[in-house]
Amino acid sequence: MTGQPMVKAEGVHKSYGAAHILRGIDLEVRSGEVFCLVGPSGSGKSTFLRCINHLERIDGGRLSVDGQLVGYRQKGDKLYELKDSEVAAQRRDIGMVFQRFNLFPHMTALANVMEAPLQVKGESKAVARERAERLLDRVGLGDKMGNYPSQLSGGQQQRVAIARALAMEPKLMLFDEPTSALDPELVGDVLDVMRDLAESGMTMIVVTHEMGFAREVGDSLVFMDGGVVVESGHPREVLGNPQHDRTKAFLSKVL
């Protein structure tokens, strides 16, 4: 885990009208790290995640992935927004998994996973199919490749969504509360897939309420509240011995 950080945020601000959602976020995520973001609803966690792949534009500061500014290019001391096509090219390297699975309902699991490499990368069907089959096997759905989303449980759909994100061979994976929409008994299968990914060395930023996962799998943990980083450190340290009153109050409710 040496060299430049995979993600670097410097004084990142984001507002929607009068609502100041991110108030100067500074953090670094190293390559190969599992970085967990926790905090109450409305604290800015999901907004920050969306800024990393420029689904949201930042209003101040700088955000870079693998040494490249996200969504902007610098000329002199000014930042200029990239064209849509350039932003799309940056996004190829960043996989994102949302609360809602957003699968194409008219496509099988296999076709869902093949779609982006075919359309965005222009891969051959044979190459895209071979990878999609391998990834669906990896997430434990080798026997469901021909099923449509309506024939799959929520947990299975979420695992297809993870396979779909991995099909683009990203260098960074973003997870926005990937288990929060699932029935409790389906959560474990999704977390197992994420554990496997972490063990394979994938750089992951995970917004989560699953404190057990954060404690076991995370390398770093940030507690956010009110658009700022309140406390950060190793997950076991922060969860086991929080220093800040706001962290203590939040953890007393969720642990």
Choose the weakest-confidence range: 85-94, 219-228, 235-244: 85-94
pLDDT tens digit sequence for 31-83: 999 999 999 999 999 999 999 999 999 999 999 999 999 999 989 888 888 99
Tens-place pLDDT, residues 83-93: 999 998 889 99
Calculate what percentage of the chain has a pLDDT beyond 70.
99
- DSSP letters for 28-64: EE-TT-EEEEE--TTSSHHHHHHHHTTSS--SEEEEE
Mind listing the pLDDT tens digit for each residue in 20-34?
999 999 999 999 999
Q: What is the pLDDT of residues 151-180, one digit of tens each?
A: 999 999 999 999 999 999 999 999 999 999
Is pLDDT of 1 > 80?
no
What pLDDT, in 10s, does the model give residues 173-210?
Answer: 999 999 998 998 999 999 999 999 999 999 999 999 99
- Per-residue pLDDT at 2: 55
Give the three-state DSSP class for 210: coil
Using a pLDDT cut of 90, give the percent of the chain over it: 87
Distances (CA, A) of 159 to 59, 60, 103, 205, 250: 34, 35, 11, 17, 29
- Burial class, 155, CB count within 10 angstroms (exposed 0-12 / middle 13-18 / buried 19+): buried
| pTM attached to this predicted model | 0.94
